[in-house]
A and B are shown apart, each in its own frame.
Chain A
Amino acid sequence: MFRNYLKIALRNLLRNKLNTGINIISLAIGLSASFVIGLMVYYDLTFDTYHPDSGRVYRVTSRFTSPQDEFVNPGVPIPLPQAAREEMTGLEIVAGFNTVDLHKAGNPESGLDFKDPGPQVFADAAYFKLFKYDWLAGTPEGLGEPYRVVLTRERAARYFPELNPAQTLGKTLVYNDSIPATVAGIVAAPQGRTDLVFEEFLSSGTFQKTDRGHYAIAADWGSTNSSDQLFVRLSPGTDPTAVQKQLDRIAKAQESDYDRQYNHHRTFELQPFSDLHFNSELQTFDNGRQPATSRPVLTGLGCIALFLLLLGCINFINLSTAQADQRAREIGIRKTLGSSKKQLLLQFLGETFLLTLLAALLSIVLSYFLLDTFAEFLPEGLHFGNFRETPVMLFAGALLTGVALLAGFYPALVLTRFQPVRVLKNQVVNTPGKPTLRRILTVFQFAIAQIFIIATLLVGKQIRYMQNKDHGFRTDAIAYLHAPWHLTSLDKNERLAREIAKIPQVRAVALGGNPPASNSSSTSTAVFFRDSTEIQSPLQMLAGSREYYDLYNFEFLAGRKPLNDTILEYVINEAYLHIIGFENPEDALNQNIRMNDENRPIVGVVRDFNPRTAAAKIGPIAIMPDWDRSREYSRFNFIHLDLKNPGDGSLSPTISAIEERYKEVYPDADFELNFMDETIAGFYQDERSLAKLLGWAMGLSVLISCLGLLGLVIYTTNRRTKEIGIRKVLGASLAQLGLLLSRDFLVLVGIAFLIAAPLAGWGLYSWLQDYAYRTELSWWVFILSGVGMIALALLIMGLRTLAVARKNPVESLRTE
């Protein structure tokens, strides 16, 4: 029976090569997208799932709110873990630990030193109760005293290459040349994906002996460092809100007078352990790690995969039901030969499954290329080999079955509904399946494709808008380089600037701090007194020499540049001007800003410029000369360059000339020249990734929909060959025939547009709300996408209908 079905299935697939091809390609596209996205979801969701009762594990984090702003810190004040142990109930395990990057580990016996070995942590036995590690030697209790360390097997093998775990116990390491630590245990590397990247666990008691040790001793509630971590496991049945209430109480009790006076609040929050991997704001312990794909992005990707799958299934449903009459005879005969409806149903579902299986094979190949194309979206640990993991295989199997059912069930029902007598009497039903259903599905397909087209066009438009938007300062032919952080000295920088200025291709040079737009910023709190009211606000500070203003071509609305590079005078932007309550820039001149208890005058106001992406509103900014120079510290660690545009387009001679000068001054440092326009383009990385993703989703959904359309058009024209022949004999023109055959489909594509346009418009409108500066939701985006889709549909239908309409009518009539 099975062999018989298989044979007939294969023969059917081979006989309708075009349909089979269309179905396999459409399904394979949806499947490969689902495989890749499923893999991503699986990968990101399987972090730290192997710890016991990890559902009850939370990290305690800090949130600070003030009238001006709000921010979070993944750490807690050092005394909180102690307070939690003593004052709180409902906690099964309280594990406070402190992360650290000790810059050197030494093995005194072998005399070997290891530079920057990687993140360590000061922890105690509670850490190992909370997180699962396999102990190869020693016990967690070994961390009970100061100057003890537990290593992973890998780390131990690096420090003590000759010794096995048991032999390593009792050996000594010296950190930072000053902190000795005896090895108290060896653990195996974690058994699953984890964000706990630590490989060396020093006993908590050792923490007081380090650089930050005085913090541990002072146990100050007033300072919070992200390296001071607190994890807890709630007792079974404990309501997290009850724990939260206790945390709120502690936070309240520790509020300072200053906090109360300025309405600053600190709260401690419970972050579920499962959120750790996804929360880009609170971060994990691996600073170099790309942030995990966020949950909304995963959801978005999931939707795209789902849509592509649906589109593929729709093609299958449409083509199989449209051509059902071709199989009606077989079904009628089988029924008279004694087949039950159930057997027929199974036969057709089996065929669909076979087709899906073939599509799956193709999709594995496609997945490989997709993984490659989207490498930038994917975490480093994710690769093609993950497909071999059992849960992934199970998911793939379930997906295939699901898709086969989704695609095959309705056509199978339609097919098996045929009554044998009607078939045998040659009254074969001319409209098998409901054409209305087919129409609805086609509309759905094209609406999805249309939405993707509109979204792609508009996201592209927004990116172009942001990149080309006037940033409020000069961005073309501007480059900057920074002096090495630790070796920086004003003398050297000034010398370097002078030397670089001598290069003929360099038009101008300016010393300063960060460029006007960059990823790093420093913000202080400024106070402004106006009519005896105090206006407190954050103020982003930029350091710039007098040349800095000219080079970046800031537009002064009032006032002037500071008189020299050390005088403490503010040049503010319009945003700050408005915060301190002025309309007219002239009025702000010579008013004082108080910062760090020093009053300094405003001497200039510049037009607003964008310090980062156009997504964010421009905040208050002040530019100052080198304001810390009196404290033997210079803010001028960047050299900004105005480069001549070389006639032949090649900058590399200029760059090497600059590098040469740089190496003379800083021989050991790495040279890196950044171009302003590239820096700005870099701000829009997320948007460009989104655009790329949408572009692909668009391309694939259009491809699937058009394939489906092609299949349907071929089917209809084949069925109407005779009618076309007769009409031609009666004198219909090619254009009339073309219109006749395409009209129905054009109407469908049109309806799809009418559905898609408002949906896309609404979605994109809300997307744009996230941007402070946004492009218009122009009507032409919609028209262009609608016209494009219709043109494409016309092209497909036109090619096919013309081919049929051009046939000699006598031929087609004779074949009937």
Chain B
Amino acid sequence: MATTAQPGASLMGASVRRKEDPRFITGTGRYTDDLKLAGQTYAAFVRSPHANATINAIDASAALAIPGVHAVLTGEDMKKAGVNPIPPGWLHPGIKIAEYRALAVGRVAHVGNAVAVVIADSPTIARDAADAVVVDYTDHPAVADAVSALKPGAPLVHADAPGNVVFTWQLGDAAATDAAIAGAKTVVKQHLVNQRLIANAMEPRASLASYDPAADELTLYVTSQNPHVHRLIMGAFVLGIPEHKFRVIAPDVGGGFGSKIFIYPEECVVAWASKVVGRPVKWTATRSEAYLTDAHGRDHDTDVEMAFDANGKIVALRVKTVANLGAYLTLFAPAVPTYLYGTLLSGQYNIPAIHVDVTAAYTHTTPVDAYRGAGRPEATYVLERTLDVAARQLGIDPAELRRRNLIAPDAFPFQTAVALQYDSGNYEPALDKALAMVDYKGFRAQQAAARAKGKLLGIGLSSYIEACGLAPSHIVGSLGAQAGLYESGVVRIHPTGKVTVLTGSHSHGQGHETTFAQIVASELGCTIDDVEIVHGDTGRVPFGMGTYGSRSGAVGGAAIFNSLQKVKEKGRKIAAHLLEAAPEDVDFAGGNYFVKGSPSRAKGFGEVALAAYLAHNIPADMEPGLEATTFFNPGNFVFPFGTHIAAVEVDSETGQVTVQRYVAVDDFGNVINPMIVDGQLHGGIAQGTAQALWEGAQYDSNGQLLTGSLMNYAIPKAEFLPNFETDRTVTPSPVNPLGVKGAGEAGTIASTAAVANAVIDALSPFGITHLDMPLTPAKIWSAIQGAKGGN
């Protein structure tokens, strides 16, 4: 196994061990909560215990009397100081934007809504004082689920959003879809609930702000996936601090999965309060606070109609979805159930007519936004679960039904009925490979034999596609994004030939310090130890849009790659000058520039770098130095795809599901580091499997979160999961110079449907055709009992 590079050897495609690991395995990583600034104080929040209430009065006198308390600040204080509400980053025509204040003013709209903050000398004093703040509320009826919220007479979440409608959104040809459904041989109808999830990155959110009056500069350390986005939105829209006076640093971040994209109230409060109290202020969420305040994910209620002709070909798809967006709109919330969902509803299939109709609702719950996959797992679940229901109804094997409907390999670029144009793809080989790996035919035989003995085995497929490398700025702009989605990459060659790379992507587990260094080492012929990847600091990296939507390799990596080409090209001119050759006669390989045909006439990359900085002897019209910047703005998304297959056993006595095997065949285009890509897949599969079997946030009808801790929200333990079997096909993406696609979300996108399908397949002897997730033992046991009773 390669651990470090041989100079000159290409490291692309090598499972290089990670550069970031030494600090993490020795306890010397630096996460936000590990930092301590001189004079640091601590924030604790006073939070609403009610889902819907009017704030009548806040009495902080007892809290202020506690020694060590510096201040108790409220929403009114913040508003008076000119701090603005937190805006969403994506708009739709007619969208109703509720005022989202970091500290509530006048009313609260979900349990956990922050009402006031205490700043004190220690975390325990701050907590004690927060508990001593007395808030007088008038409690009102609340509504937690979106379908109820849209019914006439439901409690209103915001007075200026009638009927609790945030927006309605449609895509596709309604008339063509209606006509095709009316003329179809078979129409399969299914109601699907994609339950609410909570991301649960293991590091709770944290922030630490420090204001320097001498420079009039604010520094914020924060658990962010996109520090430049934090700076832009907090600076320009919320706090009114210009970029050059505001530095945001996201140091080591312990996982995000989407939940650390958004601009949260607590970091706005901490940043503002540090200036008010004149001391650094730190806040770290408890896990209980994380459950109440980290943006949740999913939460769709969907009716699907999938229409087939006599040959089992899909002729139309109609999807109606109600999306619960919670009490306020966070950064990506409006985009998730629309552009990241509706546009994916063609999947890998040739579906001539599709119409999707989405209604987004406000409810008295924690805001809902992107969680790993963001819209694409929901779309995949709609297609793949419905296809399995259809397969049973049509009497066609699920693998065969998928195969019949795949987009043919010669049909690319393929224009779907829901706006996207897939640039490349070849779906059948991945399907075949996955079927072969799991021995599909053999499993079916084994399943039949097991059934004869009363044992319940099931197998489930999920053939998915995702659009990722979230980027094309002109496209996202035309769709309502309030920012471009390119990425920047600076390659700075030092006089000794060592390399610093500044990237706007952010790594919070993805291993960019390694994979990006592999790109550099492969291009420049150096080792990865000659390369430093700098990320997560607006004071060092010129600009960036951050990491989400599986975009870092395809957009951030491509920016670095292009800067490397610029640097190499300038180096070639310098080398040619030194070698007294024409630049077109000079080649670069293995870390050396040499004259074509006479490899002994050569200059090492380090010599050229030194020459660039000495500037004693470079071409007359050339600037000294060796550094390049690229803002890479790709022309399209990238479209990873694949087929995942789960094989399960269900215990008919207990309803317990055991995942026996999990096979994943994915096409991520070119792969930079297979070890890291497999790792991302494993984690994604675990999260998607968890949605199918265990996880689900539940509110009672008063808007109280019933699953508010790790004790009653079941994230998977090692014992719950099998080993994963992964393989790939390779269809390079044409939209970026590395030919890579995103790999960070595929596991989550594919696995939920695969596992759910496997469980329902296992239960088919009972005539069970569908159960909503999570497929817990209790739910399965009841369904089996119900089916037996009905017989």
Partners in one complex: no
B-to-A contact residues, CB < 8 Å:
none
A-to-B contact residues, CB < 8 Å:
none
